[in-house]
Amino acid sequence: MTKIYSWNVNGIRAVIKKGLFTPFIEAHQPDILCLQETKAERGQVEIDLPGYHEFWNSATKKGYSGTAIFSREQPLSVSYGYPEAFARRWQFTDSEARDANDEGRIVTAEFERFYVVSVYTPNAKDDLSRLPLRHQHWDPAFLAWCLELQQTKPVVFCGDLNVAHTELDLAHPRPNRGKKGFTDEEREGFQHFVDAGFIDTLRLFKQGNGHYSWWSIRSNAREKNVGWRIDYVLVSPALRAAVVDAAIHADVMGSDHCPVSVTLDEAVLGGLA
């Protein structure tokens, strides 16, 4: 089995300092681990993980955003952000002249049977100042990127997509409608992934609400499970038969997010054309 995990660590140095990162790795033994919001460069972090290859994409702005992929298997290739030729087709600069393509938001690793993409989607912000960037540029560009990769081999993309797709994906949908993470525009962006054939793997195994991956640090929200599902693992249709499990690991502490995962059957993967 191939176990792929994704975790928004909200600062990898903080998780390590709490003594919670290595125990997570030892308990779950991911074959591939995608991280978001690392808020660090590789040289700033002391991690002793023998057997893993590390690939970091840090934001130009220090201590902000950032993604990484840790993998037991050496990827065939790795890319950071969008390639220049691809990025030229899109405009990632928001109203404050911040370029989302300089924020370390994507790492793409190519393996024998599939691509894995770790993504940290821009937050729309409380005042929705980044919603136009999300709706008109980032979401369609990211979908185009995954579809471009899929022309070569299937794709697993995972990370903090900063949106609750449906009313089942947050504890209190009615008062949050129209707010960041639950605007019609953001939900539409996610729906376009589904319409393009990508599969929200958790929903193959878990229905209904109560399955959340992020909780506010206020009002004991995590203890009460008053949360949002904004972290996902989606796969290309060609990988559907290989998906044998998908889960949210709410018991893993260290961040305001918890890890999410998918398990792929190697025997089925071996049969892919």
Distances (CA, A) of 211 to 42, 59, 167, 181, 254: 32, 30, 12, 16, 18
Distances (CA, A) of 195 to 5, 177, 216, 224: 24, 22, 30, 33
- The CA radius of gyration of the chain, in Å to the nearest whole number, is 17
Do 65 and 162 touch, CB atoms closer than 8 A? no
Query: Is 212 labeled as catalytic in the residue annotation?
Result: no
Query: Is 120 labeled as catalytic in the residue annotation?
Result: yes
The type of residue at 199 is: I
Distances (CA, A) of 99 to 65, 122, 270: 12, 11, 40
Q: Is the Cα torsion angle 83, 3, 191, 132 positive or negative in sign? A: negative
Name the catalytic one among 5, 115, 120, 232.
120
Name the catalytic one among 31, 139, 160, 200.
160
Report the chain's terminal Cα–Cα distance, integer Å.
18
Residues with a known catalytic role: 120, 160
